[in-house]
Structure 1
Amino acid sequence: MGRYVLRRLLQMIPVFLGTTFLIYALVWAVPGDPFAGKCGERECPEQYVQAMRAQFNMDDPLLVQYGKYILNLLQGDFGKTFSGTEVADRIAATFPVTVRLAIVALIIEAIIGISAGIVSGLRNRGFLDSLVLVSTLFLISIPVFVTGSVVQLVFGIQLGWISPTIKGTGFTDLIVPGFVLASLSMAYVARLTRASISESRRADYVRTAFAKGLPQSRVVGVHMLRNSLIPVITFLGTDLGAFMGGAIVTEGIFNVPGIGGLIYKSIQTKEGVMVTGLVTLLVLVYLLMTLLVDMLYAVLDPRIRYE
């Protein structure tokens, strides 16, 4: 296992460099003057513009700019915005909030989605199966921003059951926005689990387990579920990164002070250093989650061995 992890970490290096280079190139290739509006209603003086371009290496070739950025990044320096704000400080203030929101959403997605998928797969073509299929199709058909707006309007404003906007950033405060964020993926997890369970029911090892007289709870929990969860775990692992990067709408609706809103504001103000730093951090999350998912395969399926 140790050699496998080391090999995977080495494989991540070119992937990280390739993705971050594309991100850096695309962010700084956005048309428009990055210094527009930085000096109020009047144009910025030429000396100021030249000094800023020199500070951010904007006159160097793209590869040189990227090389200097990576060298600083390896030293823990995410750079500064045009206004002089440390990007690392903004990340430290907002990233933990988005991580908590993503974890809440992932837990809700996993518990409800897998449970609904198991029930639906075991009750194939029954009432509960039809109910799960209709419910998931309903969730898939509705965009997340619509779900969030309806939950906020109906349960927050009209019924008063929840607060329309969050009052804190703890795990309990993020349950409602976490549910909204997970609503779409929860439907996909339920359908994926249902398909895996339905396929496992027809497998020879499952029929053998029932023929040996094992109780249904053991057959489902030990034999069927462990094999059926492999594609679901893959989806959940990559979804954590998607939650962190795709929480812009949900954080905006419920006024969550996370990196989603920070990315949106940085794009609006053309703060390329901030956007690059945030997206680079999300790339690292994706790569680490992919490695963790691959390691979980061996735990779920004893036939998988990493030599």
Structure 2
Amino acid sequence: MGRYTLRRLLQLIPVFLGTTFIVYALVWGLRDDPFAGKCGQRECSPAFKAAITERYNLDDPLIVQYLKYLGNVLTGDFGQTFSGTEVSTLIADAYPITVKLALIALVIEAVIGIIAGVVSGLRGRGFVDSLVLVSTLFLIALPVFVTGLVLRQVLGVELGIIRTSVSGDPSIGELIVPGFVLASLSMAYVARLTRTSLMENTRADFVRTAVAKGLPRRRVVGVHMLRNSLIPVVTFLGTDIGALMGGAIVTEGVFNIRGIGGLVYRGLQQQDTATVVGIVALLVIVYLIANLVVDLLYAVLDPRIRYD
């Protein structure tokens, strides 16, 4: 296991370098005029252009710019915005809120999705199975912003159960409903994936052997069927962590949450390339770590998987 983990960690290095370089090149290398629109309708002053050129090393070749930026990122320096604000400061203020929101959404989609999928898969074709399929199809077909606006209107405006606008330092209770909205689409996929995988393993040889040995149904389902059925679900959840953090723009906008999603949106709107590149580099790291954790969990869920 240790050798496999080390090998996987080494494999993450070229992936990180490749993805961050592509993002950096797309943001900085494909623009003819990096100062376009930075000073409104008028042209930027020579002093401003000189300062920005020196700050972002725009006189150097693209690969040299990237290597200098990468060296700063590895030390925790994500650069500065065009207004002079440290990107690391913006991330430090917004990232904890988004992490908290994403973790709440992940727990909601995992718990509700897996329970719904297990109940549906074990009951077979019946009312419960039809109810789960229809409910998940409804969540998949419904846009996330519609779900958020409806819940905010009903629970916040009409019933007064929640606040329509989340505070600057939200508690876990304030993020339950936004977390459910953020998790709604993935929750439907988790339920369907669990159901399908469980129904496939019901007819597997190892399940028939466990039943023939006289094992209790609870042990057959919980130890044999469920552990093997959760492998594709864990894979989906692992890759969904980064998507929850980077794709929370709509949810954060609906509930006025000051997180990474809003920061990315403002960066794109204001053409603040340093902010966008810094956040994307951070999300790449999150994706890579999440996939490594998922790979290591495979051996825990399925004893047949060995990394020796």
Bucket of the pairwise TM-score, normalised by the shorter protein: over 0.9
8 A Cα contact 2:94 2:259, kept in partner: yes
Q: What CA distance in whole angstroms lies between the structure 2 residues aligned with 1:79 and 1:130?
A: 52
Counterpart for residue 69 of structure 1: 69
1:304 counterpart = 2:305: yes
Distance in 1 between the 2:88 and 2:125 partners? 53
* CA–CA distance in structure 1, aligned partners of residues 42 and 24 of structure 2: 29
Tell me the residue number matched to 2:194. 193
**Map of 1:72-91 to 2, 5 A cutoff?**
72-91=72-91
Give, in whole Å, the separation in 2 of the partners of 1:32 and 1:154.
Answer: 48
> Which residue in the other structure is 2:237 paired with?
236
The TM-score normalised by the length of structure 1 is 0.96
Deviation at 1:154, TM superposition (A): 1.9
Runs of 4+ in 1 over 3 A off after TM superposition: 29-43
Aligned ranges for residues 13-24 of structure 1 at < 5 Å? 13-24=13-24
Contact 1:140/1:187, CA 8 A, preserved across alignment: yes
Residue 262 of structure 1 corresponds to which residue in structure 2?
Answer: 263
d(CA) in 2 for partners of 1:209 and 1:124? 20
- Take 2:123 and 2:78, find their aligned partners in 1: how far apart are those partners? 52
Q: How does 1:42-121 map to 2 (within 5 A)?
A: 42-121=42-121
Residues 267-276 or 67-76, more deviating:
67-76
Counterpart AA for 2:80: K
Structure 1 stretch 28-37 or stretch 235-244: which is displaced more? 28-37
Residue pair 1:94, 1:257 contacting (<8 A) in 2 also = yes
Ranges in structure 2 where 5+ consecutive residues have no aligned partner: none
**CA deviation string 1:74-126 (max 9, x = no partner):** 22211111111111111111111101100000000000000000000001111
Quick check: 1:3 aligned with 2:21? no
The answer on whether the counterparts of 1:100 and 1:170 sit within 8 Å (CA) in structure 2 is no
The offset of 1:34, in angstroms, is 4.6
TM-score using structure 2 length: 0.96
Q: Could you tell me how far apart the structure 1 residues matched to 2:82 and 2:33 are?
A: 12
Map Cα deviations across residues 106-162 of structure 1 (whole Å, 9 max, x no partner): 000000000000000001111100000000000000111111111111221122222
Cα distance in 1, alignment partners of residues 117 and 304 from structure 2: 24
Q: Shift of the alpha carbon at 1:64? A: 1.2
Q: Is the 8 A contact 2:78 2:86 kept in 1?
A: yes
- Cα drift, residue 210 of structure 1: 2.0
Number of paired residues? 307
SS at 2:43's partner residue?
Answer: coil
Deviations 1:60-85 (A, max 9, x none): 21111111111111222111111111
State whether residues 34 and 270 of structure 1, in contact with CA within 8 Å, keep that contact through their aligned partners in structure 2: no
